[in-house]
Amino acid sequence: MRLQTLLQTPTLQHMRVIAGERGLNREINNIGMIESPDIADFLKAHQFLITNGFPFSNATTDPKALIKAMHQANCAGLGVKDQRYIDHVSSDVLALADELDFPIIVTPADELISETMRNMLTIILKSQTDELSRIVQVNQTLADLLLKDPSHTTVLNKCTELIGHPLFLMDSHFRVVSAAQNLPMTRASLTDFLRNQTQIDYFNLHTRITVTYNQTQLTIIPLFSAYKENKAFVGVLNLDPKNSTDQMLAQVVINTLSFVNSRVDMLNESAFRNQSGFYLNVMDGGISNELVNKTLKARGTEPTTKFHCATILVTTHHQPLLSNHLLEQVQQLTLWFIKEFQASVIAFSLKQQLVLLINDDQNAQDFLTALVNFIQPKLDKQARLIAGYSYSTLPLTELATIYNEAAEALALSKNSPHAVTIYRPKYVKELISLIPDNEAKSFVERVLGGLVGGVSANEQLNLLNTLYGYFYYHQNIAEVAGHLAIHRNTVIYRLKKIEKMLTLNLDDPEQTQTLEMAVLLWHNQQLQK
């Protein structure tokens, strides 16, 4: 209890304060007597010492040194018995007490010090008993309330009523999601202040902090959560850090709201599993398109919306199977990131991968790069986060198609220096590169072998480059000439020479198709060299 509260009780109102009146809000929980000169070595916080003043009169105790020591130890105050040696409390001692806001109180002259101590202790013990009873009652009231599965607002209103301080609840992004009805500011303004004006690193906030908003003291306290990435926070207005009752009641509230938050965690995890099951069924074709569209509408997603599909995976050098802890960490970090930036992204899990459906109106490459840059530093040094995403954007009824593209891109990421890879459609060049080298070489020699005999290596190269340009520029002679920096007549001369050497007609579609394939294979071989 406060020293001021103690002095206001009827049995102690005859005591008077002679110095340090501004310090009467100090906590007091035990009483002691000055019995030895070295009392400063045994001081305790919130202790009130009483003396008859004799140690000050015979210089065995320096009163100024004692007051400084008691102030340093956060003692409650000093009592000096009236009409004994009080004259030895000099004016400079009283001035020091006023400077330190350290109370000096005169106790009754007609009362033994032991009796004064007993009277004070009786009041303190009764106060502590009342406080304990109140805390037990608050705890029981909140426990009974939780059995009714109440809303956040109901819990906050009841907690506010029980502890006498308005409360508000924040999610892991410092957004005020619920508040007691007597909160003197709007949730939106409070969210803006906490997120944008305090520069608090709420992602890494694990201990209570205090900030001031419009002359109101806000104590922000993290709540216990099964996943630290999904922790929540409770805010308490004008919580007195020196009031033990306030602090104990606040702890009861924190325990209650932490339980509520853990229950929310479990519900969210269950919802995530259900969502994963739904999209897996969509991908396997186990749900009709009509039912898919109906479910998407119920979840607030327009069925015609197109998505990129992305898969993200954690790889390590030494573990073929990843720990559940690591997978959950990546999942929670990803979900936190999506919600923090309110990204148009749907997430679900598939075995040891996390699948993301990225709305077409969002740049998939930028989002995935930012996500990897956010998560990677938080993982074990042996772990590497990679992502692959689809080239196509399709409605979710075509989920299997875009997932297969994302899975193929993810496979490429494993051997790529880049963490994020987009699926590359198989163009002609890529298809050609898949032909075994020995077969490609044999085909080139069979079709183009006629260009070797009777010409120099340099002229052979000129003929082949001209032929490649001829097909590349869709048989446009002028384009080929410009690309090779030669006259168009030179291009025509070379093409006629090629026809003669290979005994074919470039106007014959079947012969041209075979020749073009051979030239592309030859060009691919040159690139490999």
CB atoms < 10 A from the CB of 320, how many?
Answer: 5
pLDDT value of position 320: 52
238: confidence class by pLDDT, cuts 50, 70, 90: very high
Residue with tokens 């030669």: 486
181: confidence class by pLDDT, cuts 50, 70, 90: very high
**Which tokens go with 208?**
């209570």
Nearest to 310 by CA among 272, 269, 350, 270: 350
> Which are the contacts of 453, defined by CB distance < 8 A and separation ≥ 6?
501
CB 466 within 8 A of CB 480: yes
- For residue 45, what are the CA distances in angstroms to 71, 102, 135, 422, 439? 9, 13, 22, 64, 89
CB 488 within 8 A of CB 477: yes
CB atoms < 10 A from the CB of 373, how many?
Answer: 12
Cα 170 to Cα 176: distance, rounded to the nearest angstrom: 4
pLDDT surpasses 90 at 135: no
pLDDT surpasses 90 at 233: yes
Angle at 369 between CA 367 and CA 372, to 5 degrees: 110
pLDDT value of position 430: 66
Angle between helix axes 324-340 and 364-375 (nearest 10 degrees) is 130
Tens of pLDDT, residue by residue over 190-214, are 999 999 999 999 999 989 999 999 9
Cα 157 to Cα 14: distance, rounded to the nearest angstrom: 41
Cα 433 to Cα 34: distance, rounded to the nearest angstrom: 95
322: confidence class by pLDDT, cuts 50, 70, 90: low
Cα 362 to Cα 375: distance, rounded to the nearest angstrom: 20
The secondary structure of residue 11, as a DSSP letter, is G
User: For the residues 88-98, what does the mean pLDDT come to?
Assistant: 88
Nearest to 312 by CA among 426, 421, 423, 401: 421
pLDDT value of position 529: 67
**Which tokens go with 293?**
């569209």
Tens of pLDDT, residue by residue over 447-501, are 988 887 677 889 989 999 999 999 888 888 988 898 899 999 999 999 999 999 9
pLDDT value of position 301: 92
pLDDT surpasses 90 at 235: yes
- For residue 472, what are the CA distances in angstroms to 324, 464, 466, 469? 52, 12, 10, 5
End-to-end CA distance of the chain: 87
Phi/psi of residue 322, nearest 5 degrees: -90, 155
**Which tokens go with 190?**
């409070």
- Amino acid identity of residue 69, one-letter, is A
User: For the residues 335-359, what does the mean pLDDT come to?
Assistant: 93
Query: What's the number of CA atoms in the CB half-sphere (13 Å) around residue 154?
Result: 11
Q: Which residues pair with 282 in a beta bridge?
A: none
pLDDT value of position 319: 56
pLDDT surpasses 90 at 146: no
278: confidence class by pLDDT, cuts 50, 70, 90: very high
Q: Which residues pair with 105 in a beta bridge?
A: 17, 79
Residue with tokens 């993810």: 410
CB 19 within 8 A of CB 98: yes
* DSSP H or E segment with residue 495: helix 488-502
Tens of pLDDT, residue by residue over 266-277, are 888 889 999 999
**Which tokens go with 489?**
């007549």
Tens of pLDDT, residue by residue over 416-445, are 888 999 987 766 666 777 788 888 889 988
- Pick the range with the lowest mean pLDDT from 237-246, 337-346, 394-403: 237-246
CA 141 to chain centre: 33
Single pTM value for the model:
0.65
Q: Which residues pair with 312 in a beta bridge?
A: 354, 387
Q: Which residues pair with 213 in a beta bridge?
A: 216
Q: How many residues does the chain have?
A: 529
Cα 471 to Cα 519: distance, rounded to the nearest angstrom: 9
Cα 281 to Cα 288: distance, rounded to the nearest angstrom: 10
Q: Is 60 left (phi over 0), alpha (psi -120 to 50) or beta?
A: alpha
User: With helix as H, strand as E and coil as C, how does 183-245 read?
Assistant: CCCCHHHHHHHHHHCCCCCHHHCCCCEEEEECCEEEEEEECCCCCHHHCCEEEEECCCCCCHH
Residue bearing the bigger pLDDT, 525 or 364:
364
